[in-house]
A and B are shown apart, each in its own frame.
Chain A
Amino acid sequence: MQKMPKVTIDNETYDVAEGRNLLEAILDNRLELPYFCWHPELGSVGSCRLCAVKQYRDDDDQQGRLVTSCMTPATDGARISICDPEAAEFRRSVIEWLMINHPHDCPVCDEGGECHLQDMTVMTGHAHRRYRGRKRTFKNQNLGPFIHHEMNRCIQCYRCVRFYREYSAGEDLGVFASKNHVYFGRFEEGALELPFAGNLAEVCPTGVFTDKTQHRHFTRKWDLQSAPSVCTHCGLGCNTLPASRYGTLRRVTSRYNSEVNGYWLCDRGRFGYEYVNGADRLLAPASVADNGPPPSWDASAATIAGVLGEARARGTLAGVGSPRASLEANFVLREIVGADRFSPGLAEEEHRIVTRYLEFLESTSVRCASLRDANSVDTALVLGADVTNEAPLLDLALTQACRNAACRLTLTGLRRGRLSKFAADDLCLDPDQAAFFGAAIVATLRGAPEPPEALRDSLPPGAHECISETTAALSAARRPLIVAGTSARHRGVLEAAIQVAQSLESTSDGGKQPLVSLALPEPNTLGVTMLDGGEGPGLEDLLAAVESGRISTLIVCENDLFRRCSDPERLASALAKLEALIVLDQMETATTARARWALPVAAVTESSGTFVSGEGRAQRFFQVKAPIGESRACWRVLRDLFVEGRQEGSELAREWTATHHVSTVLASAHTSFGGIDEIAPPGDFRLLGQRIPRLSVRSSGRNAMPDMVSVRQDVQPPEDDDTPFAFSMEGYQGRGPTSLLPRYWSPGWNSNEAINQCQIEVGGPLHGGDPGRRLIEPGDGRTGSDGAGLQTVGVAAVPKGTLKAVLMLCGLSEIFGSEETSRRAPAVAESMPQAYVLLNPDTAVSLGVVGDCRYGLRLGINDKVREVSLTVRVDETLPLHVAGLPAGYPETSWWQAPCWATVEILGEDKQQELEKEQP
């Protein structure tokens, strides 16, 4: 091991990692030094000057001189002083200067109580104001539904523009004017365009940029009740810290995980939470049959268990799990209905794609990329995916890889997007073509002199060169990454991606680590697919079984089947045939509307459990707040039904009184889930015999909570068997394991910068390791396939017809709009585009339509005709023969996979008729 540099700080000698600056060296060693402009991810720029320390030339130097520690390398033998009076005085002055124009409006500022500026002011000891003049004032801007702007509080650390422009390659936030009039904002008012703008609220060390959604139901940090959680709005598994008060969720902030999301969240993840407080949550068990007052839980459970038991006995029971329900819930459901009657609840094509992906991961030595891996790849090939909209934080990771032109990027999505500006090759291809493109690369990698003609002919001009350049780059790369998505709903694309990765792996002479990543739409898509293990029926089979009467009773857990099925009419009539449809869900959906029993279950932030992210990382989430209304954790409801039904094996379930009991059973029952019981301490974990409080020590207190009703303490906080957390401020006050960090807080550090105190090295892994465990690691000597089976699954042939145009209908992912729950959050709803059909402008012209207008469309798909009313939008980067439809929209939920369609524009009267019908 290399010798570590030693630095003497106030006469003590410390070890410092190689390549650190003095500020980092100081913070790494848990010493305190104030700073503003430095940030572990944004680097040092030396503008605030707050981090000044005394540096001495050598042992004889008594004088020393002030240096900016973040700009000074921590070299071996350096001698510095933090406490030196001159240095301390200077730092106090920096705060005094910054305070000259700061409005001191802490009482009305949303940052108050977790403000880095407050912390630093206290840390430097500046308390007395000598400035006698007037303060300058700025006009604020409306920056859209997510971020609130209050420029007077600015201390000009430039972090916002450095994050927005340099780090994230955003374009519409800038720095204007100069001297003491420097202004950070937009050229003109309007919503921020960057889908990561929410992070401004966290990088800004004061209250200039704050969370606008939180503002509507504001609570100080010290009054927030929080617990570690995992984002539910896509499959990347970003770590979050949701926080609540008085039974409502107030905000979500990022929870640091150096392997996954680092310091960041995307705006869907940050602002999608409000659906939890929404009006369309299910509040109490409901039964269609009863039609009276809502049945009690116990009565329902007994009745439903009876219905289930009967159907099981007849062999006509089936269950549908969900990629947005926990592993635990899916597992219990599977126990109830049996492995061969358990459907993971994915759309048909998606199910095939994910299953194939999983099979590949389990058999290859290609590594499934973590977000941190993606940060540092040197070549990336994105096949038929829209990274920004499907896996937002993967976009931010690739941005880092590309920022210094280090990573060579090839894009083959349907349309150009945010990452295009970094792309060396950027072809807009339909999924068939993307698959061909990948297949051609495979062929070239495997030494074919020319890609097969059939492949070449289907690609647009210029593609041939891109293929050879991309192939060359991939061959030369040390860390190539292949990305595919699920929203293209095209197996050929995934297959091609897999084969490219596999070929790279098998043709590499060592020193190369190929990586793959499949963008998954929901938090547990991979987990539920692993659980299913290919044993259960897909949705198509299930539907057929219901239609044929082989299934009479269906229990659906946290799944809206109408989002998954390409024929809603057929689905509706099939469901109507059932003797009993039992649906457990958080909110009203088209499926709950048809249920005989609709049972309310807790949201992720209201329960505990485990998700497996697209990276194959099992992560535990913990209950943040009590479930709304009468809802209960999904797995608990299912366990009760299981126990009540008294079926074989259900006696054991009596013992399952806490989440970790289920996780433990699952871990031992399924080898692929081995170890998931260990990713976080179990619910009975205690420190010094105490729980970890969800509320801060400074919380306004339990007694005060219902003080509008009574000042006595009549309500005891609920008990919680599932987690080591307490719903109170009492408990262990030290720092527990990092997987159990309910908030960032450290003496003197009230802001989120307190995370520094939890990292081994500032900006590095957390003490005790980052939470979560990768379940699928690449093995050695695994036999990869030889590419022989490479199917270029084509979309069925172009239909013949006389209508106006024949277009390939493809799905487009929208960061705001495509995901089921976040689109119910008001701020996200405000940001999402209306349901549309996207056309190339030339295609639009040939159809006789113009953009941004609503039209009635008649679509002929496989002898079926569907009439819809949609807004036509145009994008000149879209291939001419493609019509893009937004994925995950109720208006277009029948789109489940690419297909050719005849497209005709309907008359106005017809369109009005349609609009009346539409949801």
Chain B
Amino acid sequence: MLTPEERAELDEMRSHYPTVRAASVSVLKWLQKHRGHLSDESMRDAADYLGLPVAELDGLATFYNLLFRQPVGERVICLCDSISCWMCGSDRIREHIENRLRLRMGGTSADGRFTLVPVVCLGNCDRAPSMIVGDELYDDLTPEKVDEILGLSDGTNAGAHGGDHD
């Protein structure tokens, strides 16, 4: 259920769009931002709010790369794996993150702090490899820099007690 405050904020957003449907993606993004991911309940809330069939909204939610229908960690690491980053070693960065966080691409660390997902070109190819964590863009990545960004500089592995996830 949406709170009255949530409704008020969504109303503001909706006013920028000529039709309710046109506001759907923004509404979904907003819900995701405030609730971490788009749970079935959030999807129903959005459908209810917009007056659109939930199946239709889910058709959008499952289409876009950055709308998450599964629970994700506190910080989502979007690592670019497109051509320039790949050429400049994003695979090594991926392996490093996977080892440090004990997860696989697409997975969440056991402590629930991180989720690692691949993204396509971030438009930052001149400073490859690049990634986005949360809302921040990080580039010219090296394993050391990654540790620092993820707050792993003390040398311990995050999620050290967990196994692999998908």
Contact = CB atoms under 8 A, between A and B. Distances in A.
Whether chains A and B associate is yes
Interface of A: 165, 171-178, 183, 186-188
Given A171-B53, A174-B53, A187 B62 contact: no
Nearest to B65: A178
A192 to B, nearest CB: 11
Contacts of A165: 56
9 contacts: A171-B55, A172-B53, A172-B55, A173-B55, A177-B63, A178-B62, A183-B62, A187-B40, A187-B43
A173 B59 CA distance: 10
Top 10 A-B pairs, shortest CB-CB distance: A174-B55, A171-B53, A176-B62, A177-B62, A187-B55, A174-B59, A187-B54, A178-B63, A187-B58, A175-B59
A186 B62 CA distance: 13
Contacts of B62: 176-178, 183
A172 B47 CA distance: 12
Interface string B31-68: 00000000010010000000001111011001100000
Nearest to A179: B63
Contacts of B43: 187
Contacts of A183: 62
Contacts of A186: 55
A174 B56 contact: yes
B63 A171 contact: no
Q: Which of A171, A176, A177, A187 has the largest number of chain B CB atoms within 10 A?
A: A187
Contacts of A173: 55
Contacts of B63: 176-178
A176 B53 contact: no
Contacts of B56: 165, 171, 174
Interface string B60-85: 00110000000000000000000000
Contacts of B40: 187-188
B120 to A, nearest CB: 12
A186 B63 CA distance: 15
B57 to A, nearest CB: 9
Interface residues of B, number: 10
Contacts of A174: 53, 55-56, 58-59
Nearest to A171: B53
Q: Which of A173, A183, A188 has the largest number of chain B CB atoms within 10 A?
A: A188
Contacts of A188: 40
Interface of B: 40, 43, 53-56, 58-59, 62-63
A507 to B, nearest CB: 39
Nearest to A164: B55
B163 to A, nearest CB: 24
Contacts of B55: 171-174, 186-187
Nearest to B47: A187
B26 to A, nearest CB: 20
Nearest to B59: A174
B132 to A, nearest CB: 21
A183 B58 CA distance: 11
A186 B43 CA distance: 13
Contacts of A176: 58-59, 62-63
Nearest to A185: B55
A452 B51 CA distance: 39
A652 B155 CA distance: 106
A429 B40 CA distance: 37
Q: Which of B40, B55, B62 has the largest number of chain A CB atoms within 10 A?
A: B55
A138 to B, nearest CB: 13
A174 B54 CA distance: 9
Contacts of A187: 40, 43, 54-55, 58
Given A175-B59, A183-B62, 20 more contacts: A165-B56, A171-B53, A171-B56, A172-B53, A172-B55, A173-B55, A174-B55, A174-B56, A174-B58, A174-B59, A176-B58, A176-B59, A176-B62, A176-B63, A177-B63, A178-B63, A186-B55, A187-B43, A187-B55, A188-B40
Contacts of A178: 62-63
A171 B52 CA distance: 9
Contacts of B58: 174, 176, 187
A619 B33 CA distance: 61
Contacts of A171: 53, 55-56
A187 B57 CA distance: 9
B1 to A, nearest CB: 18
B70 to A, nearest CB: 13
B53 to A, nearest CB: 4
A175 B56 CA distance: 8
B81 to A, nearest CB: 15
A173 B58 CA distance: 11
B51 to A, nearest CB: 10
A188 B63 CA distance: 17
B8 to A, nearest CB: 25
A182 to B, nearest CB: 9
A96 B84 CA distance: 33
A171 B63 CA distance: 18
A178 B59 CA distance: 9
B71 to A, nearest CB: 17
A174 B62 CA distance: 11
Contacts of A172: 53, 55
Nearest to B55: A174
A186 B59 CA distance: 10
Nearest to B63: A178
A177 B63 CA distance: 5
A188 B59 CA distance: 12
A785 B63 CA distance: 60
A175 B57 CA distance: 10
A177 B61 CA distance: 8
A882 B43 CA distance: 35
A172 to B, nearest CB: 6
B61 to A, nearest CB: 8
Nearest to A173: B55
A603 B40 CA distance: 47
A186 B56 CA distance: 10
Contacts of B54: 187
A401 to B, nearest CB: 22
A433 to B, nearest CB: 28
A655 B63 CA distance: 70
A575 B122 CA distance: 83
A187 B43 CA distance: 10
Nearest to B53: A171
A174 B40 CA distance: 15
Nearest to A177: B62
Nearest to A186: B55
A653 B40 CA distance: 68
Nearest to B43: A187
B28 to A, nearest CB: 14
B40 to A, nearest CB: 7
A843 to B, nearest CB: 25
A158 B83 CA distance: 32
Nearest to B44: A187
Contacts of A177: 62-63
A858 B40 CA distance: 43
A172 B62 CA distance: 16
A183 B40 CA distance: 17
B137 to A, nearest CB: 25
A186 B40 CA distance: 12
B151 to A, nearest CB: 33
Q: Which of A165, A173, A174, A178 has the largest number of chain B CB atoms within 10 A?
A: A174
Q: Which of B40, B56, B59 has the largest number of chain A CB atoms within 10 A?
A: B59
A172 B63 CA distance: 17
A183 B54 CA distance: 15
A418 to B, nearest CB: 13
A872 to B, nearest CB: 25
A331 to B, nearest CB: 50
A163 to B, nearest CB: 14
A525 to B, nearest CB: 36
A36 to B, nearest CB: 21
A178 B58 CA distance: 12
A174 B43 CA distance: 14
B55 to A, nearest CB: 3
